[in-house]
């Protein structure tokens, strides 16, 4: 017996069960003895993706373990001519007979029987292609009308897909703000799991799932079909500008690390501290000395002569800079750092309107070229200019949506406790991504050459070898 269902929205395999029940009646009528049951649930025969049980059935038939195949209908077996021809070759070679509940027997040993099978397969493929067109048209219409196309409950929403689930919606908003403020994706994943949030499938969050969830247009109250977005019927969880910034940040290949996470930034000043010799922000941490101490070394020295660049103990330098930042944020005038407007002079509504007009203009140009109204050269010139403007608009909107990483620290009684946390491992303090964002916002740290050896106070670390330039006063 073979059974297949393309889409199991109930998730219970009920369609497959009904197919097998009908085949049991057919087995009794034909007097067959059951050799095996093969069922592919929620898998399409039209897409060409491998069907595990179907392939296992072919292997057993080729091995001579059975000579009869039953199916509810022939289109449960095949919807592509290529698969059918493979099955016909096997049936001829092994003498396999095929019966279906709805279409009767298939005699693949005769030319007329094979012709019938090929005709049924051709019509099944036509039905699939036609259904695909209808589905695509329905999905586009739903997107244009701002309706939800259905499916699994989206995280942040009730099962109707339009009503917000407050706790989850708040988590999405907080995660989005954290990303644009400079937090790492892994820290957002950790916070979601530690807060007890589960995916819509009741699983723990992983980085890939969080990235996909935060990049959804529905978070900004939008629907999407292809590359186009439309206003949705449900409320936005985050402003559209913030969502676009999140998409831009999380789509940047430079943020991605390997699967083991070995490329994850672990030090405060990696790529931020400036070498006082070459003037480049090229200090990276590596192991130096016989005891393998962690130290910042100028990466540029690897490309030039080894001497003349700076090296500084990583733990001491990061601790020194963090203490300076915390002291600065405790000053009475520090509130000015938090209230500085960001992007308030940018008319984002006008930019979104212009972007929509440009998208329509690009469509009009493509139509004009297809109709022969303009030449290929005119099409290239027009689209090139318009796409360049779209890129400018996207960059401006992303910049307007970036949140000051200092927000959330203002007015707190103990900046140090928020920064460092309350445990030795700093698990409840600011994550490294947020701390680096604060550093990049506040000051430029230049590490200057110094003499070797102990200082009068017995320490090897010399604060006079660190030059600080405050970006915000």
Domain that holds residue 130: 2-143
How far, in Å, CA of 468 to CA of 310, rounded?
A: 16
* pLDDT score, position 152: 85
Residues 27 and 123 in one domain: yes
- For 341-386, how does the pLDDT look when each residue is reduced to its tens digit (9 = 90+)? 444 556 666 776 677 678 778 878 888 888 888 888 888 888 888 8
* pLDDT score, position 9: 42
Q: Which residues contact 454 (CB under 8 A, 6 or more apart)?
A: 460
Residue 284 lies in a domain: yes
Mean pLDDT by 10 residues, the chain (473 residues): 65 63 90 90 58 90 92 81 86 89 80 79 67 64 77 91 93 88 82 92 92 92 81 90 82 52 69 90 80 81 60 92 91 68 58 72 83 86 86 73 67 81 79 84 91 70 90 68
Residue 234 lies in a domain: yes
Residues 12 and 121 in one domain: yes
Residues 81 and 26 in one domain: yes
Residues 43 and 135 in one domain: yes
CATH number of the domain where residue 84 is located: 3.40.50.1390
- For 215-256, how does the pLDDT look when each residue is reduced to its tens digit (9 = 90+)? 999 999 988 877 677 889 899 999 887 888 888 788 765 555
Asked which of 378, 401, 424 is the last residue of a domain, the reply is: 401
CATH number of the domain where residue 213 is located: 3.90.1750.20
* pLDDT score, position 274: 93
> What is the dihedral angle through the alpha carbons of 206, 208, 209, 210, rounded to the nearest 10 degrees?
80
Residues 324 and 356 in one domain: no
Residues 106 and 173 in one domain: no
* pLDDT score, position 126: 64
Count of domains for the chain: 4
* pLDDT score, position 263: 45
* pLDDT score, position 156: 94
Residues 21 and 106 in one domain: yes
Q: Which of 435, 442, 438, 439 is nearest to 473 (CA)?
A: 442
Residue 156 lies in a domain: no
* pLDDT score, position 445: 95
How far, in Å, CA of 237 to CA of 281, rounded?
A: 37
* pLDDT score, position 466: 94
User: Residues, the chain, total?
Assistant: 473
Contact 168, 155 (CB under 8 A): yes
- CB atoms < 10 A from the CB of 361, how many? 15
């Amino acid at each position: 017996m073979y059974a297949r269902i393309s889409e199991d929205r109930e998730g219970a395999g009920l369609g497959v069960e009904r197919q097998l029940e009908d085949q049991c009646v057919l087995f009794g009528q034909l007097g067959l003895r059951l050799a095996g049951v093969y069922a592919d649930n929620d898998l399409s025969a039209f897409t060409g993706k491998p069907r595990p049980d179907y392939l296992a059935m072919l292997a057993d038939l080729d091995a001579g373990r059975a000579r009869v195949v039953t199916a509810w209908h022939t289109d449960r077996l095949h919807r592509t001519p290529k698969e059918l021809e493979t099955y016909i070759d096997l049936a001829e070679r092994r003498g396999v007979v095929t019966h279906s509940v709805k279409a009767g027997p298939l005699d693949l040993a005769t030319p007329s029987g094979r012709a019938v099978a090929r005709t049924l397969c051709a019509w099944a493929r036509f039905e699939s292609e036609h259904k695909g067109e209808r589905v695509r048209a329905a999905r586009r219409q739903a997107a244009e009308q701002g309706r939800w196309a259905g499916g699994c409950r989206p995280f942040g929403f009730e099962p109707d897909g339009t009503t917000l689930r407050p706790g989850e919606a708040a988590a999405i908003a907080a995660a989005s703000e954290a990303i644009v403020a400079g937090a790492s994706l892994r820290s957002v994943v950790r916070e979601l799991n530690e807060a007890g949030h589960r995916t819509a499938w009741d699983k723990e969050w992983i980085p890939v799932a969080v990235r996909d969830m935060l990049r959804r247009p529905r978070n900004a109250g939008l629907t999407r079909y292809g590359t186009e977005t439309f206003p949705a019927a449900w409320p936005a969880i985050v402003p559209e500008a913030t969502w676009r910034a999140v998409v831009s940040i999380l789509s940047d290949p430079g943020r991605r690390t390997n699967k083991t996470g070995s490329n994850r930034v672990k030090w405060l000043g990696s790529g931020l501290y400036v070498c006082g010799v070459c003037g480049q922000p090229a200090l990276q941490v590596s192991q130096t000395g016989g005891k393998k101490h962690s130290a910042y070394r100028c990466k540029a020295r690897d490309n030039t002569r080894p001497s003349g660049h700076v090296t500084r103990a990583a733990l001491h330098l990061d601790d020194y800079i963090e203490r300076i930042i915390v002291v600065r944020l405790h000053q009475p005038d520090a509130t000015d750092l938090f209230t500085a407007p960001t992007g308030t002079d940018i008319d984002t509504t006008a930019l979104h309107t212009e972007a929509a007009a440009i998208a329509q203009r690009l469509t009009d140009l493509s139509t004009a070229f297809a109709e022969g109204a303009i030449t290929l050269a005119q099409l290239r010139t027009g689209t090139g200019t318009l796409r360049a403007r779209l890129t400018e608009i996207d960059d401006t909107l992303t910049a307007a949506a970036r949140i000051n990483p200092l927000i959330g620290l203002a007015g707190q009684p103990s900046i140090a406790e928020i920064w460092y946390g309350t445990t030795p491992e700093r698990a409840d303090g600011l994550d490294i991504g947020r701390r680096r964002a604060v550093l990049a916002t506040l000051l430029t740290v230049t590490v200057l050459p110094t003499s070797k050896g102990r200082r009068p106070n017995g320490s090897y670390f010399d604060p006079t070898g660190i030059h600080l330039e405050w970006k915000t006063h």
